[in-house]
Amino acid sequence: MSWTANDIPEQRGRTAVVTGANSGIGFETVRELARTGASVVMACRSTDRGEQAARKIRSDVSDADLRLEACDLGNLESIRAFTERLADDEIDVLVNNAGVMAIPRSETEDGFETQFGVNHLGHFALTGLLLESLGIDEAGKSRIVTVSSGMHERGEIDFEDLHHETSYDPWDAYAQSKLANVLFAYELERRLLTADANAESVAVHPGYADTRLQSRGPEQRGQPLRKAVMWALNAVIAQSAERGALPTLYAATAPDVEGGAYYGPDGVANMRGSPERQASSDRSYDRETARRLWDRSSEATGVTYELPEPEPKG
C-alpha cells in the first residue's frame, strides 16, 4: 500500500527545524508537519518570503505552530547566529533541505563555491552546531534528514578542486554537492552509532519534483529557451512538490525508518511515486571518501562534532 501524507503519525509535542522552508519541498514539509501537530521552525534565507509562506500554511492549517527564523546557509555567521537563537530549544527532527541547483559559478560569503557551500557545507555546519539541541545524549531518538538528489549518482568528490576554481560545470558542481549530502548522512550515522547516541541520520531524494529549483539556473545564466524547456518538462514529467516531499516526510516521521538508509520514490527511474528504501550510488558508500570529506568540511567551516570517529571497516 502506498504511503501518503495521511500516514504521518501524530507529531504533537515534537519540534522540527526545516531549512529552505519557504518554497518547494521545504514548504510542503513544513505544512504537513504542522498539520500533524509539530512545532516547526522555518529556517529561511529571506524572512520576507518566509512570512509569505507562513501565511499560506496558516490559511490551510489554522492552528499551525510556526516560528520563522533567518538562516542563510551560504553564510557561516548567519548559521551560527541561528543556532544560538535555538540553543535552549529541544529539537526532534532536523530537515536539511535548502539548496541551489546548476547555477552559474559564484561564491558564498565565506568564499565557498555556492552549490557546495550551501548544499553541503552549510548543512554540515548547521547540524554540528545543533547537535546539543537534538538531544543525542538524552532519552528519545531524534532524526536528521538530509535531502539529496538522484543527480548524486553523477557526482564525484574532487578533493583537488572542491570549489571548482580550475574548471566549472554547473551540473557537475551540483552533482558533487548532492553526493556530498549522502556521504555526510551516512558518515554522520556511523559516528552517531559509534557514540551510542539517541539520534539517527537518513538521506532522501525527491525524484523529479516540480519546484522553483529547475528554473533558477537558466534564469541566472540568461537562457530563456532552456528555462522554457524546464517548465515544459516539469509540466509533463515531474510530480508535484507535494508528492516530492513524501520521502522527506517519511524519513522524518515514519516509525520503521532506519538510520543510515536512503529513501526515494518507487516509480519508474525513481522519478515519482511513493517513498521506499533504495540503494544510492556505489561512490556514496565509500567510507574513506566520506571520512576525508568530513575532515575537509570541519576544517572549512570550523565546526567540530563531539562524536567519535568510527573504526575502519575490517
Q: Known catalytic residues? A: 174
Question: Which three cell numbers, joined as nine digits, stand for 278?
Answer: 533504495
Helical ranges in 149-306 per DSSP H: 170-194, 213-221, 224-236, 241-244, 246-253, 287-301
Task: Tell me the C-alpha distance between 108 and 73, whole Å.
Answer: 9
Task: Tell me the C-alpha distance between 121 and 40, whole Å.
Answer: 23
- Whole-number Cα distances in Å, 179 to 116, 217, 284: 10, 19, 6
Contacts of 208 (CB under 8 A, 6+ apart): 150, 237, 238, 239, 244, 271, 272
263 strand-pairing partners: 204, 277
Task: Tell me the C-alpha distance between 245 and 223, whole Å.
Answer: 28
Residues constituting the chain: 314
Question: Which three cell numbers, joined as nine digits, stand for 203?
Answer: 538521506
Of 137, 114, 153, the C-alpha closest to 271 is: 153
Interstrand relation of 262-265 and 275-278 (parallel, antiparallel or unpaired): antiparallel
Helical ranges in the chain per DSSP H: 24-35, 47-60, 76-85, 114-115, 123-130, 170-194, 213-221, 224-236, 241-244, 246-253, 287-301
